[in-house]
Amino acid sequence: MTLPGNVAPDLRHDPELGAALPDAASRAMRGVHRAISELRRGTPVLLAGPQGALVVAAAETVGARGLAEIAAAGMAPPVLLLAPVRAAAVLQRPVNAATPPQRGDALKPDAPQAEEGVVALKLPPSLLDPELLRRLADPVAERLLPETPDLALPHLLAPAALALAKLGRLLPALVAAPARDNAAAPLDLLRVPATDVLAYPVTAATTLRRVAEARVPLEDARDARIVAFRAADGGIEHLAILVGDPEGRAADGAAPLVRAHSECFTGDLLGSLRCDCGPQLRGAIRRMAEDGAGVLLYLAQEGRGIGLANKLRAYALQDGGLDTLDANRALGYGADERGFLVAATMLEQLGIRRIRLLTNNPDKVSGLAACGIEVAGREAHRFAANGVNDKYLETKAERFGHLLR
């Protein structure tokens, strides 16, 4: 399997990775996992880089105590780090994040807005309040603010801070200040290297291992098995549902049917009509049963990787008129935050390197191919609109480039 260039060399070629994970990779993932927990409960962490550290807390969860800790650990007043689209909404004008933004630095109205990048806003004392910070972070929340913040220069470590919040499925909005030397010890703040944060998605995907499996006869496929995969960080499992014997087929040189399905609590479990996930899930199992074999990868990538709480926020924004793509971006997320390395690693471990993929999403085909899986064919996987999800399906075709057949 070909891995992206930034995978640590010792993770690339080690066939016994699960059994003997290099200490450094294991420690790195543990540190990031702990940092995520800290942010989710409103505690600041120290993000460390080669030229100093940044003390950060999630704007969505930080309380008065966390703000006091940032003031104590910081050597300058805190700023709010936001994704450019969210910053533009707060300032009510476009913001250029490609170069470090300055006051009055605005894009032309027709210029494309950067999806990458970070904008820093100064936080005057009137805005250093947990409730107001939540409003600044969350486009669903009440807009009214006592004053509009000014732009500041984002710290070098700002992109890693946003990446950490996204890994925690939090709104990518952080209160941040450059940290004093030795700020961690007196406050007992967790210190996490920014490079570990940036490497985390690849490290976690590469360390996935089969941990459990069982026969689970399904209504539409009696000969189904479920295999659970877990990464070395101890995070949530991804599942492979095997219909028939796709591993045997692959060993015989055939390309079994594969569906990479991102979990959707609302569609898969509750039968929500807002999306097409429920019919796609059951339809894929039926199609594999008909074909005699197949693998459905059930990936813990809820909401195209933004998490359930953020998907609900995106739905609220969609009820206000945004489409599914712009709603993600309004939250500060990309249109699709999923990586394909998780799916590719699972297939690799099942001994399946050549597949026929059930999808209408061309990114899934190219993404799996980029991770070393040969997509020998694609089969359309489209279901009729239901009167509620019509616009959602139209947007997938028009803005995500989904194929109609």
278 is in an annotated binding site: no
What 3-state DSSP class applies to 243? Answer: strand
For residue 295, the cross-strand partners are: 242, 258
The partner in contact with residue 177, picked from Zn ion, ligand GTP, none with C-beta cut-offs of 5 to 8 angstroms by kind, is none
371 is in an annotated binding site: no
Please report how close the Cβ of residue 378 comes to ligand GTP at its closest, in angstroms: 10
- How many residues touch Zn ion under the rule CB under 5 A: the total is 4
Active site residue 354: no
Site for ligand GTP in 365-404 (CB under 6 A): 381, 396, 402
Inter-axis angle of helices 158-167 and 194-206, to 10 degrees? Answer: 40
Dist. CA 38–CA 44, nearest whole Å: 7
Which candidate in 338, 353, 382, 390 is catalytic? 338
Site for ligand GTP in 263-282 (CB under 6 A): 263-264, 275, 277, 280
Q: Which residues of 133-162 are buried (b: 16+ CB within 10 A; e: fewer)?
A: bbbbbbbbeeeeeeeebebbebbebbbbbb
Residue type present at position 48: A
Dist. CA 255–CA 17, nearest whole Å: 27
The answer to whether the CB of 184 falls within 8 A of the CB of 191 is: yes
Tell me, rounded to whole angstroms, the distance of Cα 59 from its chain centroid: 18
Among the listed residues 35, 302, 334, 368, the single contact to ligand GTP using CB under 6 A: 302
Site for ligand GTP in 313-342 (CB under 6 A): 314, 324, 328
Quick check: 169 binds ligand GTP (CB under 6 A)?
no
Dist. CA 201–CA 196, nearest whole Å: 10
Q: Which is nearer to ligand GTP, 25 or 314 (CB)?
A: 314
401 is in an annotated binding site: no
Phi, psi of 55 (to 5 degrees): -95, 125
Task: Using the rule CB under 6 A, give the single segment among 45-53, 115-123, 164-172, 300-308 that binds ligand GTP.
Answer: 300-308
What's the token pair of residue 362? 């061309």
Dist. CA 320–CA 329, nearest whole Å: 14
Please report how close the Cβ of residue 306 comes to ligand GTP at its closest, in angstroms: 5
CA-nearest of 274, 261, 279 to 315 is 274
CA-nearest of 349, 219, 345 to 282 is 219
Quick check: 277 binds Zn ion (CB under 5 A)?
yes
Site for ligand GTP in 223-262 (CB under 6 A): 261-262
Active site residue 338: yes
Site for Zn ion in 288-347 (CB under 5 A): none
The partner in contact with residue 285, picked from ligand GTP, Zn ion, none with C-beta cut-offs of 5 to 8 angstroms by kind, is none
Phi, psi of 240 (to 5 degrees): -115, 125
Q: Which is nearer to ligand GTP, 224 or 331 (CB)?
A: 331
Which candidate in 336, 382, 399, 405 is catalytic? 336
Phi, psi of 239 (to 5 degrees): -120, 145
Q: Which is nearer to ligand GTP, 161 or 277 (CB)?
A: 277
Q: Which residues are annotated as a binding site?
A: 259-264, 275, 277, 280, 302-304, 324, 359, 364
Binding region for ligand GTP (CB under 6 A): 261-264, 275, 277, 280, 301-304, 306, 311, 314, 324, 328, 359-361, 364, 381, 396, 402
Binding region for Zn ion (CB under 5 A): 264, 267, 275, 277
